[in-house]
């Protein structure tokens, strides 16, 4: 027997329709790429997104065609976002932090027909345009007065949508229709395309805004520092208009001073970004002796949040840290670090230690950890295992069957779970903690050492701007940890100081065999430490302990 409820397909156009109906005057504030701060509203964005739809149709874009954007978080980007998805085109958000050749490869693989981009990225587009085989139209997110000189037939965004009606048909297609395309960063092999459906995006956005996750409402002011090209800005581009929160778009300026200016001038209550952004903000706050006056919650994800970062926000500034974990393949949020009553009642140190974990599964996400033979490991907070996930917003296959593992083209384990590539623990309360990427875990004397745990402690040492740990070959132990330090400007931390700082905080046999200092630790396209580049740099490095046969 089937239920007798209405058929109301979960398509993302309904989000902006709802925002227009219920919150038409709620502001969307943008720091534009051109410089000035502008003010729009959900009602205005709804009308202009409809114009985008009509302009796309006039440019022969149809259901299923890929529409690429290479852009920062702005109101214009949001308009193109909903204008494309609302008509059933697939919005392909391209990460500008990839190498130009990778960007060209991705756009050709996606078969993008039209590209919207910000002025910042005009030099990249000039370079790769001859390599692009399917892009026919280039639209710059600006007006005619700011349109750059180019050998390409560029169209100013304002001219592209000018004269088009604000009435356009949205929806009317199956909720499983593809709505978004986002490629993995491709640290090994070619990037792979994750193809989101309207249904998966809607379900994920509703789960992401549950009370134990973002918990945003119409009275909130939300600043997504995490870019829209990072898996839908962690769903905030859907969540904010869904709940009517005021949306503050930071554009291209993500330094500590610029972020703080928007936090204060727009009275932001909730924000989200990767740890490197928050480290810049904290450095700015300390240098200028300032503090956020309205900020209540900050989501930290993309890589593990260091303990020093969590303590600074919570202890020094009274801001709640929401430690999150996820993947592009998970839309992206998988776990969230809100505290349970059992932990809230504990002492401060216990609460901080719990917040260091990546958190409990978001509703709609199933987690398990298994050994190399697929046997499930106990949830005791100690046993390490490969982290597997499943759910309605988790990828079952990559675009064009890249990385297929069965004859259905799927990238799943035989039992239908997706292997995240992470190694993790699960405790009895359901808190998951990433101990490493499977390829980054250090295997020493038959045991595993977590590089992430050492990094998160080391980054709290005096004079340290960033820290990384990699495994270096050792004739006796297979691998031993090398601690790599990027000092703060003007600081000169020593090997002895750093190893002394780690003493008592990690197991003795985890202690790095040596410390190396670099001017800059390389970061990947998503702001994470690029371990691949570090391993290449230190591929011939010989540990003193190895030379001594210890």
Q: Phi and psi of 537, rounded to 5°?
A: -60, -40
From the centroid of its chain, how far is CA 68?
18
Would you call 329 a catalytic residue per the annotation?
yes
From the centroid of its chain, how far is CA 304?
12
Q: Confirm if 411 and 405 have CB atoms less than 8 A apart.
A: yes
Would you call 187 a catalytic residue per the annotation?
no
Which residue in 11, 74, 177, 184 is the catalytic one?
Answer: 184
In which element (H, E) is residue 277 found?
helix 275-288
Q: Two tokens at 478?
A: 């297979």
Would you call 448 a catalytic residue per the annotation?
yes
CA distances for 545 relative to 255, 357, 448, 541, 549, angstroms: 40, 32, 19, 12, 6
Which residue in 439, 443, 476, 488 is the catalytic one?
Answer: 443
Q: Confirm if 486 and 465 have CB atoms less than 8 A apart.
A: yes
Task: List the Cα angle 271/205/43 in 5-degree steps.
Answer: 75
Report helix, strand and coil shares of the chain as percent, to nearest 5.
30, 25, 45
Which residue in 175, 329, 486, 514 is the catalytic one?
Answer: 329
538: left (phi over 0), alpha (psi -120 to 50) or beta: alpha
Q: How far apart are CA 210 and CA 363, in angstroms?
A: 9
Using alpha carbons only, how large is the chain's radius of gyration in Å? 24
CA distances for 26 relative to 14, 31, 210, 265, 267, angstroms: 17, 17, 21, 16, 14
Within 10 Å of residue 131's Cβ, how many Cβ atoms? 14
First to last CA, the chain: 70
Which residue in 448, 505, 528, 537 is the catalytic one?
Answer: 448
Cis previous bond, 243, omega within 30: no
Q: How far apart are CA 297 and CA 314, in angstroms?
A: 10
Would you call 443 a catalytic residue per the annotation?
yes
So which residues are the catalytic ones? 184, 329, 443, 448
């Amino acid at each position: 027997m089937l239920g007798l409820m209405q058929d109301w397909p979960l398509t993302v156009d309904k989000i902006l329709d709802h925002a227009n109906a219920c919150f038409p005057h709620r502001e969307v504030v943008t720091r534009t790429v051109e410089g000035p701060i502008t003010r729009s509203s959900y009602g205005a964005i709804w009308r202009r997104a409809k114009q985008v739809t009509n302009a796309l149709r006039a440019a022969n874009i149809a259901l299923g065609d890929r529409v690429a954007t290479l852009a920062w978080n702005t109101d214009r980007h949001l308009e193109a976002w909903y204008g494309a998805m609302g008509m059933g085109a697939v919005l392909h958000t391209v990460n500008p932090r990839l190498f130009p050749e990778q960007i060209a490869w991705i756009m050709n693989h996606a078969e993008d027909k039209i590209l919207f981009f910000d002025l910042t990225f005009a030099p990249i587009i000039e370079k790769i345009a001859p390599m692009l085989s399917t892009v026919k139209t280039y639209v710059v997110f600006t007006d005619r007065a700011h349109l750059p000189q180019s050998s390409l037939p560029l169209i100013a965004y304002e001219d592209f949508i000018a004269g088009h009606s604000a009435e356009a048909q949205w929806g009317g297609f199956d909720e499983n229709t593809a709505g978004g395309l986002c490629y993995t960063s491709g640290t090994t092999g070619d990037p792979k395309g994750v193809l989101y459906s309207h249904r998966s995006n809607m379900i994920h956005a509703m789960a992401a805004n549950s009370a134990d996750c973002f918990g945003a409402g119409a009275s909130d002011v939300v600043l997504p520092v995490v870019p829209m090209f990072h898996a839908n800005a962690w769903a905030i581009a859907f969540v904010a208009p869904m709940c009517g929160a005021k949306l503050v778009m930071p554009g291209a300026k993500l330094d500590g001073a610029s972020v703080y200016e928007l936090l204060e001038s727009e009275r932001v209550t909730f924000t989200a970004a990767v740890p490197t952004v928050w480290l810049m903000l904290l450095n700015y706050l300390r240098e200028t002796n300032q503090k956020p006056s309205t900020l209540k919650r900050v989501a930290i994800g993309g890589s593990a949040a260091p303990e020093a970062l969590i303590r600074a926000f919570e202890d020094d500034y009274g801001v709640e840290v929401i430690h999150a974990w996820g993947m592009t393949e998970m839309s992206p949020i998988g776990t969230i670090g809100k505290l349970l009553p059992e932990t809230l009642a504990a002492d401060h140190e216990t609460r901080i230690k719990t917040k260091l974990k990546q958190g409990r599964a978001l509703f709609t996400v199933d987690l398990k950890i298994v050994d190399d033979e697929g046997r499930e490991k106990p949830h005791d907070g100690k046993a390490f295992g490969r982290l597997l996930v499943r759910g309605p917003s988790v990828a079952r296959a990559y675009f064009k069957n890249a990385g297929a593992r069965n004859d259905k083209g799927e990238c799943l384990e035989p039992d239908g779970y997706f292997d995240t590539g992470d190694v993790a623990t699960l405790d009895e309360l359901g808190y998951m903690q990433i101990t490493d990427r499977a390829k980054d875990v250090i295997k020493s004397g038959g045991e595993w050492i977590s590089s992430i745990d050492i990094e998160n402690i080391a980054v709290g040492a005096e004079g340290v701007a960033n820290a990384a740990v990699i495994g270096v070959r050792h004739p006796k132990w297979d691998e031993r940890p090398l601690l790599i330090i990027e000092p703060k400007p003007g600081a000169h931390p020593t090997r002895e100081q750093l190893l002394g700082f780690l003493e008592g905080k990690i197991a003795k046999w985890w202690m790095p065999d040596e410390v190396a200092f670099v001017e800059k630790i390389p970061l990947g396209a998503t702001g994470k430490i690029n371990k691949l580049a570090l391993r290449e740099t230190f591929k011939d490095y010989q540990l003193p302990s190895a030379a001594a046969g210890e």
